[in-house]
């Protein structure tokens, strides 16, 4: 037996490159997995055990020895006292701070062979798997399908070494002392050892690797698998492999191995022995999206965070990066930020107005543990500004104090505040109300004939700003009292030759704001003698609002007579007494004909002047 061990080990190690490729194919694994990850979408629950606790609680096994445990099929029961190779086991481990160095055994998750001689048969219940051409039982071409479970390895493990172990039981024909070459191909589809047959799987081999070779030795055989396991950790998918041996019918060569099926001895099942170094941290971070407002503008900033929990005897390795996804209106999730160390980013995607945008985040720690996706947060896009306008104002405002009102609408988030601008007498626009929720403004101290223009701007709750109207939205002119004007006299002099010399006919007119009526007129006059000083203004008479003509009898002789009318409306608003305003009129009474005209100017028709 000793000589078998030595020669077999040497024979195996003489073909490391080919066998390594075979092992690499057997050891392929998923591109991404989570070590001790909580269920997706669930960030609650107890902290999982650390790697130290996992290794301490796992079954302890002894290392296999090349060339030993070479049982004949009818002696397989004797292997019951050996370690169970169908389970994850720990050979040894050591702790250095937060780093763990361990040697473990990783089982085959499934294995079976298929035979061309029985193309619709499944052989999962047989205790062995075989390779080559079996003309003894009519199985003919026999191919092996194998897949190994490497999930117990923590992410970010540094694989120091790995070996592949399989227990060979038969070499046919008897006395065949030559190695058997084989070809391994990646399976292109997933498969089930309890269902697969020649007709369903023999053609599923994909990428092929260089030929390998199996030595003619009974018992455990081992070979290097370090590169294969490292390849798995690099992200290759694991759908297993299909292995083809020497299928030359005339040679009738085949090999049998202890398998993985329910009737195979667990102690002799294929396995990997892996020595690795990893962080003791196995608890994934718990990621959280910060809450978002109900509505957001088309561009806004999103924040997230994560908590990496400590474990008993193992401090947290800390958050390394985040993956952040979004989706619009319930569509597919879009990868937005991939393995980013930052905790916020500006969302500037072209999400239509009114659309619902949802976000979720997951985090990975420095030990490679990837957490579950966080609960979803959502916001609705409000990208259109509100619309506001000043309510119409009358053409004339009859009071010096008046109120301006406005209103606005917003399609989603609602109006937050208004800005109001005012222009007086065509002057520059001035802000008179800023960032106010009010919808009215009181103007006070307005002056007669002042013209006011207004425009309003609304801003909604997400910051969309309504553009200013280029023109006034409403305007009004202050007309807070009636106006009367004494119509100029024609001719403006009465002399002895005038048709009428004893009385002066005074005419006036009034102007009113719409909605008011003239109540009365109060007329006054002033007399200035030739060569003398003007006298005081003297009330003449009060006339109803409907009267605009009256005869004045001059009682002070020759001189200048001036007249001024004050109008009062039905609101009691009174025209200021301002004779210098130009609204009065005057006439000369010269019955002594002391004034001699030097030149008569022609009278021009009104339409010619216009």
**pLDDT digit string, tens, across residues 464-522:** 999 999 999 999 999 999 999 999 999 999 999 999 999 999 999 999 999 999 999 99
**H or E segment to which residue 495 belongs:** strand 493-495
- Angstrom distances, CA of residue 33 to CA of 17, 238, 370: 29, 12, 8
Q: Given a cut of 70, is residue 76 above it in pLDDT?
A: no
Contact predicate 183/241, CB 8 Å:
no
In a domain, 10, yes or no: yes
443 and 585, same domain (yes or no): no
Contact predicate 507/548, CB 8 Å:
yes
461 and 513, same domain (yes or no): no
Instruction: Domain of residue 305: give its range.
Output: 286-381
Residue 36 or 71, more confident: 71
In this structure, of 71-80, 129-138, 341-350, 531-540, the range with the lowest mean pLDDT score is 71-80
Average pLDDT score, the chain: 88
- Angstrom distances, CA of residue 541 to CA of 557, 561, 586: 20, 15, 17
335 and 445, same domain (yes or no): no
Residue 336 or 78, more confident: 336
In a domain, 596, yes or no: no
99 and 189, same domain (yes or no): yes
Last residue of a domain, one of 478, 506, 538: 478
Average pLDDT over residues 23-46: 38
Residue 66 or 561, more confident: 561
**Residue 118 CB partners (closer than 8 Å, separation 6+):** 138, 139, 198
Average pLDDT over residues 46-71: 89
Half-sphere exposure of 250 (CA within 13 A, CB side): 0
Average pLDDT over residues 417-428: 98
Contact predicate 457/388, CB 8 Å:
yes
For residue 493, the domain's CATH number is: 2.60.40.10
Q: What is the pLDDT of residue 39?
A: 37
b/e map of 520-541 (b: 16 or more CB within 10 Å)?
A: bbbbbbbbbeeeeeeeebeebe
In this structure, of 16-20, 426-430, 574-578, the range with the lowest mean pLDDT score is 16-20
Other Cβ atoms closer than 10 A to 185: 17
Q: What is the DSSP string of 384-411?
A: S--EEEEPP--SEE-SSSEEEEEEEE-S
In a domain, 347, yes or no: yes
In this structure, of 37-41, 321-325, 552-556, the range with the lowest mean pLDDT score is 37-41
- Distance, in Å, from the CA atom of 154 to the CA atom of 364, rounded to the nearest integer, reads 13
**Helix (H/G/I), strand (E/B), else coil: 131:** strand
Q: What is the pLDDT of residue 13?
A: 35
- Distance, in Å, from the CA atom of 480 to the CA atom of 510, rounded to the nearest integer, reads 14
**465's tokens:** 């700003």
141 and 102, same domain (yes or no): yes
Average pLDDT over residues 397-416: 96
In a domain, 18, yes or no: yes
294 and 323, same domain (yes or no): yes
Q: What is the pLDDT of residue 225?
A: 78
Q: What is the pLDDT of residue 28?
A: 35
- Distance, in Å, from the CA atom of 421 to the CA atom of 432, rounded to the nearest integer, reads 6
Q: What is the pLDDT of residue 261?
A: 83
Q: Given a cut of 70, is residue 73 above it in pLDDT?
A: no
> What does residue 598 show for φ and ψ, rounded to 5 degrees?
-90, -30
How many domains is the chain built from? 4
Q: What percent of the chain has pLDDT over 90?
A: 76
**563's tokens:** 């007249």
Q: What is the pLDDT of residue 155?
A: 82
207 and 134, same domain (yes or no): yes
Average pLDDT over residues 137-161: 93
In this structure, of 96-110, 148-162, 209-223, 271-285, the range with the lowest mean pLDDT score is 209-223
Contact predicate 528/537, CB 8 Å:
no
Output the pTM of the full model: 0.65
557 and 537, same domain (yes or no): yes
- Distance, in Å, from the CA atom of 51 to the CA atom of 278, rounded to the nearest integer, reads 8
Q: What is the pLDDT of residue 187?
A: 86
Name the pLDDT band for 208 (thresholds 50, 70, 90).
Answer: confident
57 and 127, same domain (yes or no): yes
- Distance, in Å, from the CA atom of 404 to the CA atom of 44, rounded to the nearest integer, reads 57
Contact predicate 98/315, CB 8 Å:
yes
**C-alpha 267 chain-centroid distance:** 54
Q: What is the pLDDT of residue 224?
A: 74
Q: What is the pLDDT of residue 236?
A: 79
Last residue of a domain, one of 452, 478, 504: 478
Q: What is the pLDDT of residue 599?
A: 54
Name the pLDDT band for 185 (thresholds 50, 70, 90).
Answer: confident
Q: Given a cut of 80, is residue 7 above it in pLDDT?
A: no
**Helix (H/G/I), strand (E/B), else coil: 52:** helix
Q: Given a cut of 90, is residue 66 above it in pLDDT?
A: no
186 and 213, same domain (yes or no): yes
Q: Given a cut of 90, is residue 27 above it in pLDDT?
A: no
487 and 474, same domain (yes or no): no
> What does residue 422 show for φ and ψ, rounded to 5 degrees?
-135, 140
Q: What is the pLDDT of residue 38?
A: 35
In a domain, 39, yes or no: no
Q: What is the pLDDT of residue 184?
A: 81
364 and 474, same domain (yes or no): no
**C-alpha 139 chain-centroid distance:** 60
Average pLDDT over residues 79-94: 90
Residue 592 or 72, more confident: 592
In a domain, 128, yes or no: yes
Last residue of a domain, one of 478, 507, 522: 478
In a domain, 140, yes or no: yes
Name the pLDDT band for 16 (thresholds 50, 70, 90).
Answer: very low
Average pLDDT over residues 437-451: 96
């Amino acid at each position: 037996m000793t000589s078998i061990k030595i020669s077999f080990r040497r024979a195996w190690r003489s073909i490391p490159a080919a066998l390594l490729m075979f092992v690499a194919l057997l050891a392929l694994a998923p591109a991404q997995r989570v070590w001790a990850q909580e269920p997706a979408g669930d960030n609650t629950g107890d902290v999982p055990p650390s790697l130290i606790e996992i290794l301490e609680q796992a079954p302890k096994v002894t290392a296999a020895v090349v060339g030993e445990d070479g049982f004949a099929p009818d002696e397989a029961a004797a292997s019951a006292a050996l370690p169970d190779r169908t389970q994850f086991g720990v050979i040894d481990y050591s702790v250095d701070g937060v780093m763990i160095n361990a040697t473990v055994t990783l089982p085959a998750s499934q294995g079976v062979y298929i035979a061309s001689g029985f193309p619709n048969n499944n052989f999962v219940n047989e205790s062995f798997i075989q390779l080559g051409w079996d003309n003894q039982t009519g199985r003919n071409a026999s191919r092996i399908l194998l897949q190994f479970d490497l999930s117990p390895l923590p992410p970010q493990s540094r694989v120091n070494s790995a070996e592949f172990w399989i227990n060979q039981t038969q070499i046919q024909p008897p006395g065949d002392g030559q190695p058997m070459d084989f070809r391994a191909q990646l399976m292109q589809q997933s498969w089930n050892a309890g269902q697969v047959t020649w007709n369903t799987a023999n053609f599923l081999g994909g990428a092929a690797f260089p030929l390998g070779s199996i030595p003619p030795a009974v018992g455990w055989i081992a070979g290097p698998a370090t590169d294969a396991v490292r390849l798995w950790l690099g992200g290759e998918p694991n759908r297993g492999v299909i292995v083809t041996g020497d299928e030359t019918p005339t040679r009738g060569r085949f090999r049998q191995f202890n398998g993985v099926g329910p009737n195979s001895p667990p102690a002799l099942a294929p396995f990997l022995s892996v020595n690795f170094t990893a962080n003791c941290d196995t608890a994934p971070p718990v990621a959280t999206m910060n809450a978002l407002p109900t509505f957001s503008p088309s561009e806004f900033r999103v924040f997230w965070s994560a908590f990496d929990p400590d474990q008993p005897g193992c401090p947290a390795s800390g958050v390394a990066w985040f993956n952040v996804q979004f989706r619009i209106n319930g569509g597919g999730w879009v990868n937005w930020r991939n393995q980013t160390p930052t905790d916020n980013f500006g969302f500037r995607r072209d999400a239509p107005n009114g659309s619902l945008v949802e976000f979720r985040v997951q985090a990975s720690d420095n030990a490679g543990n990837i957490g579950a996706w966080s609960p979803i947060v959502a916001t609705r896009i409000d990208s259109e500004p509100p619309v506001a306008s000043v309510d119409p104002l009358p053409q004339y405002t009859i009071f010096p104090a008046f109120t301006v009102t406005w209103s606005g609408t917003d399609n989603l988030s609602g109006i937050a505040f208004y800005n109001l601008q005012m222009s007086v007498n065509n002057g520059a626009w001035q802000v008179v109300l800023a960032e106010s929720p009010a919808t009215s403004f009181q103007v006070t101290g307005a002056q007669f004939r002042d013209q006011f223009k207004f425009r309003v701007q609304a801003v909604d709750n997400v910051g969309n700003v309504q553009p200013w109207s280029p023109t006034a939205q409403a305007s009004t002119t202050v007309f807070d009292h009636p106006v009367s004007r004494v119509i100029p006299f024609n001719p403006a002099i009465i002399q002895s030759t005038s048709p009428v010399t004893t009385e002066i006919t005074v005419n006036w007119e009034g102007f009113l704001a719409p909605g008011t009526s003239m109540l009365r007129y109060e007329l006054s006059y002033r007399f200035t003698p030739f060569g003398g000083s003007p006298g005081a203004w003297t009330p003449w008479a009060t006339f109803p609002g409907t009267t605009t003509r009256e005869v004045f009898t001059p009682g002070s002789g020759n001189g200048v007579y001036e007249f001024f009318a004050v109008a009062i409306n039905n609101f009691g608003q009174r025209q200021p007494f301002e004779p210098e305003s130009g609204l009065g009129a005057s006439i000369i009474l010269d019955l002594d004909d002391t004034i001699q005209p030097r030149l008569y100017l022609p009278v021009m028709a009104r339409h010619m002047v216009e």
